[in-house]
Structure 1
Amino acid sequence: MSLDSSLKTGNALKRHRNVLTRAERLEKLTEDGRWDDSQEVTGLPKVGHRKVGVAKKKKKKDDEE
């Protein structure tokens, strides 16, 4: 029997995750200046976490070749 491709864990840590852990959310909020240690940990504001796409470089065509 074959293993379904969604169950493979070879690159699971490299994949983009939509859900952040509480520590990651606090870190992101601290960077943005929206969090300080005097606030409650419950009821955190939402944090947008988008994957940053890397643009591919276009190859320049050399007419001299």
Structure 2
Amino acid sequence: MTIDKSLKVKRGGISTRSVLTRVERLEKMRADGKFDPETDSPIGIPKTRVIKISMKKKKKTKEEG
């Protein structure tokens, strides 16, 4: 079978994923203080937001001299 075009990797680098695994979500919630492994259940945890950072390109200034 062939892979659909939408599933192929277009870039070589690692891009930002929009979905975290359960372990990654638990680690992030522990860091934020929203999850306690002794009292909270790892089943049914809420989704955590993935923040994408985008940098704007700096405009080149015209130097007169």
Q: Flag whether TM exceeds 0.5 (same fold).
A: yes
Identity score, percent: 42
Deviation at 1:58, TM superposition (A): 1.9
User: Please, which runs of 5 or more residues in structure 1 have no aligned partner?
Assistant: none
> How many aligned residue pairs are there?
62
Gaps of 5+ in 2: none
The structure 1 segments of at least 4 consecutive aligned residues displaced by more than 6 Å after TM superposition are none
1:9-46 per-residue CA deviation (whole Å, 9 max, x = no partner) reads 46466122111111111122122221121211101122
In the aligned structure 2, how far is the partner of 1:43 from the partner of 1:4? 32
**TM-score (normalizing by structure 1):** 0.68
Q: 1:14: which partner in 2?
A: 14
Name the CA distance, whole Å, in 2 between partners of 1:33 and 1:61. 49
